[in-house]
Structure 1
Amino acid sequence: MDSRAKPLPDMHGITVLQLVPSLEAGGAERTAVDIAAALVAAGGRALVATTGGRLVGELREAGAEWLQFPAATKNPGRIVWNAERIRRLIAAEGVDIVHARSRAPAWSGLMAARRAGVPFLTTYHGAYKPGGPLKTWYNSVMVRGDAVIANSRFTARRIEQQYPRAEGRIEVIYRGTDLDRFDPAAIDPARIAALRSAWGIAPGRRIVLLPARLTGWKGQEVLIDAAALLADRGVADVDYVLAGDAQGRTAYLAGLEARIAARGLVGRVHVVGHCSDMPAANMAADVVVVPSTEPEAFGRTAVEAQAAGRPVVVSDIGATPETVLAPPDCAPGQRTGWRVRPGDAVALAAAVEEALALGPEARAALGARARAHARGFGLEAMTGATLALYRRLLRRANAA
């Protein structure tokens, strides 16, 4: 994989409207901001229509424009009305391309773009589950545009299997990470100490970190069970941090807290909510785990952890074989992390124990390999490829 940064395409005079439900936390939201910033840096104009969220400030700082818009609605009547509102936006703002990052706003964007005669494309940020005929039709909006961005080869294969007609319009563009933010040399130790204090971690304790929103398939329950197994084995100097929003899932949060208590892990497993300083969080961790029980369409968390030189343990499903090197796909001395069976607390505990047991030299060597591997998923590669796709779509539209 060529990770070398290339100059961004000239985007002067080009306006792109991105549609995303919100700008809170997540891959779609983070990517929308990153692409908007790159577009502005390349001389273009970036508009993002969304309900808003914690990333709006960063979006504006990059020189992009936030259009407050009910993009999260799934109400069919409002989706149709949103299409007319977007059509008016296209005309009023001189929009050249509409780029949707979620299904509900994609329906509005598709209708509006077709009426306005401008290119429309989508990005698959997740591997949508197949369902009955109605859900299959609803999901199909993501392959109805002029191009479809898949955030991994795994995602591209899923799209082709579910929607063969999309073949020829799919482009794999890996989710990009701002590697400079996760460079260990760039992290002030005071930031790490502040997080440890905020999380209630005592000095000298090691940390196993699971950074993900609190939802069942992200594997928090599996990690709690693995932590109990490790405690039974005498691994007693480790705390476990679940860092992520519950996003209103109060029943799931209560279930996690009950599970922690039932396993005798109160004070050892910390549910800390959203973390706004993930570079420092990764540096605070001795091991980062991504124990998802359903496929990750890309796996940004594992890439960020590797960029920080941390050992990672991930579930061996989805795109993780593309983002984490581990046997049998590489020699043991080339691994950048561990891949284990999803939902298997015993396997997760064994891998975490092995990662925690690394000596200083082995840990440093693994960290160097992990950082080198992460360079293949840099932000510049993603933004450059996306802007180049915008240019191709415009040339094609102008030639039609």
Structure 2
Amino acid sequence: MGKRTLLQLIPALGAGGAERGALDVAKAAITRGWTSVIATSGGHLLPEAEAAGVVVIQGPFGSKNPYQLWANGRHLRSIIAAHEPDIIHVRSRAPAWALKFGIGRDPRIVTTYHGTYNAGFGIKRAYNRIMTEGTRVICISAFIMRHVADEHPESVDRLRLVPRGIRLESFPATSFKPPSVPRLLLPGRLTRWKGQMLFLEALALLRGAKVHVQASIMGDAQGRQEYVDELNGAIDRLGLRPNVQLLPPSVDMASAYQDHDLVVVPSLDPEAFGRVPVEAQLACRPVVASDHGGASETMGGEGSCFLVTPGDAMDLARGLKTAITAMHAPDFDARLQGAKNRVAGLYGLDQMIDKTFAVYDEVLACPRPQ
């Protein structure tokens, strides 16, 4: 058997979980003796990929323009002819369609279903279905696996659960000391569905109940200045200016968690996986999160994770108050260590890599048409 080649298709190598996962798998392929190729438009992870020995081929692979999809299909056909990949791993819908235009169905294709894609009907559902046409379909959480099975029942036998993987070494052992005034952190893009406005409403309820906290809302506005202005207006209207700060995104989230005492994830829509609750538990920090999507499966029962009703400010305030009270329990540090150990076993990077390559092995073992 000659040297294996992995080709991954992803629109960009940006900051998201899908992009980081693609790069982690690309680097693991090289470690395992494979040739690793990524077709992408580029992004800030590009230098890391090239430094690791990944062959990066750039092009407008995120475009949904019909003409560009057709052109990308021709480009991908030439890439595949040149590199002869054993596995073609597709991580987004636009390059999946381009690939179909370029080579049609192919038994080497693996897809990863990264989100619900706002399922919809008719044309939208047909557009999404391309992600179920792989020989195997990786789902990043049990929530997504159920969603795909419900939306595309014909794909059930080809679905494989591979949770996202997190670098455990980024979260060294630490201890927790209960604070006199808890510091709360809500990290995530500044967009309405992430629940920042709901968080402010809950903080106002805590203030009315004489529960004193300091809070940070950390994230990239990505040009949504109108929403930032709305958040600042709500902070002033609710009398929270002395207690709430808006912070830019951090490249060192492990330190950001350590600088706070409680992590809050009040998403209005379900997260496909939800990296923040897992990272917070690895950082030995309690978490209050909306009870839907990935958070419902990554939050544990050790007594340091608190699930609340999505979109309910009163229940969010109740959950925050419960978490703040729990911080002073004599065994709270032990609860946090228990949560850390659980998620380290379930969501470390090694499990994602091993399970991904197990899927590749399945595909490689499938009969190929002559």
Note whether the superposition's TM-score is higher than 0.5.
Answer: yes
Q: 1:356 to 1:366 in 2, by over 3 A?
A: same
Q: What residue in structure 1 maps to residue 78 of structure 2? A: 88
- Aligned-residue offset at 1:399: 7.2
Separation in 2, partners of 1:29, 1:73: 16
Which residue in the other structure is 1:22 paired with?
Answer: 12
Work out whether 1:55 is the aligned partner of 2:48: no
Aligned to 1:34: 24
Cα distance in 1 between the residues matched to 2:64 and 2:311 = 31
Question: For 1:245, what is the secondary structure of its paired residue?
Answer: coil
Query: Is 1:363–2:339 an aligned residue pair?
Result: no
Residue in structure 2 matched with residue 389 of structure 1 by the alignment: 359
SS at match of 1:171: strand
Equivalent AA in structure 2 for residue 311 of structure 1? P
Identity of aligned residues (%): 40
Which residue of the other structure, out of 303, 307, 320, is the alignment partner of 2:282? 307
Aligned to 1:257: 232
Q: Hey, what does 2:317 align to over in structure 1? A: 349
Partner of 1:230 in structure 2? 206
The structure-2 alpha-carbon separation of the partners of 1:38 and 1:12, relative to structure 1 and needing over 3 Å to count, comes to farther
1:335 equivalent in alignment to 2:303:
yes
* Cα distance in 1, alignment partners of residues 222 and 130 from structure 2: 26
Q: What corresponds to 1:166 in structure 2?
A: 155
Residue 125 of structure 1: how far off its partner (Å): 1.3
1:119 to 97, 108, 131: 108
Please report the TM-score for the alignment, with normalisation by the length of structure 1.
0.85
State the alpha-carbon separation in 2 of the partners of residues 177 and 393 from structure 1: 25
Cα pair 2:70 2:102 within 8 Å, conserved: no
**Structure 2 Cα separation of the partners of residues 244 and 122 of structure 1:** 29
Q: Which runs of 5+ in 1 are unaligned?
A: 1-10, 188-202, 327-333
Quick one: which amino acid aligns to residue 373 of structure 1? R
* Matched position secondary structure for 2:104: helix
What's the CA shift for 1:368?
1.0
| Amino acid aligned to 2:328 | G
Q: Distance in 2 between matches of 1:210 and 1:43?
A: 41
Displacement of 1:374 in angstroms is: 0.6
Correspondence for 1:216: 192
Amino acid at match of 2:260: A
Residues 64-101 of structure 1, C-alpha deviation per residue, up to 9 Å, x if partnerless? Answer: 23322212212122112111111111112232222121
Distance 1:49 1:259, change over 3 A: farther
Q: Secondary structure at the match of 1:167?
A: helix
Q: Are residues 336 and 43 of structure 1, via their aligned partners in 2, closer, same or farther at CA, if it must alter by over 3 Å? A: farther
The aligned residue for residue 264 of structure 2 is 289
Once residues 239 and 19 of structure 2 are traced to their aligned partners in structure 1, the CA distance between those partners, rounded to angstroms, is: 37
**Correspondence for 2:66 among 61, 68, 76:** 76
1:93-118 CA-to-partner distances (Å, cap 9, x unmatched) read 23222212121122113333537x56
> Residues 129 and 318 (structure 1 numbering): CA distance in 2 closer, same or farther, change over 3 Å?
same
**Secondary structure, aligned partner of 2:166:** coil
One-letter amino acid of the structure 2 residue matched with residue 283 of structure 1 = Q
Alpha-carbon contact 1:51-1:69 (below 8 Å) kept: yes
Structure 1: distance between partners of 2:312 and 2:45: 35
Instruction: Tell me, yes or no, if the aligned pair for 1:113 and 1:119 is still in contact at 8 Å.
Output: no
Matched residue, 1:66: 56
Aligned-pair CA distance for 1:140: 0.7
Residue among 128, 139, 142 paired with 1:150 = 139
TM superposition score normalised by structure 2? 0.92
Distance in 2 between the 1:399 and 1:88 partners?
20
| Range moving further from structure 2, 134-143 or 360-369 | 360-369
Contact 2:107/2:134 (8 A) holds in 1:
no
Q: C-alpha displacement at 1:397, in angstroms?
A: 4.7
Quote the offset at 1:59 in angstroms: 2.3
Gaps of 5+ in 2: none
Q: Which residue of 2 aligns with 1:43?
A: 33
Q: What is the Cα deviation at residue 149 of structure 1?
A: 0.5
Distance 1:77 1:399 in 2: 30
Residue in 1 that maps onto 2:218: 243
Higher relative contact order (CA 8 A, sep 6+): 1
Matches of 2:68 and 2:280, distance apart in 1: 40
Deviation at 1:62, TM superposition (A): 2.9
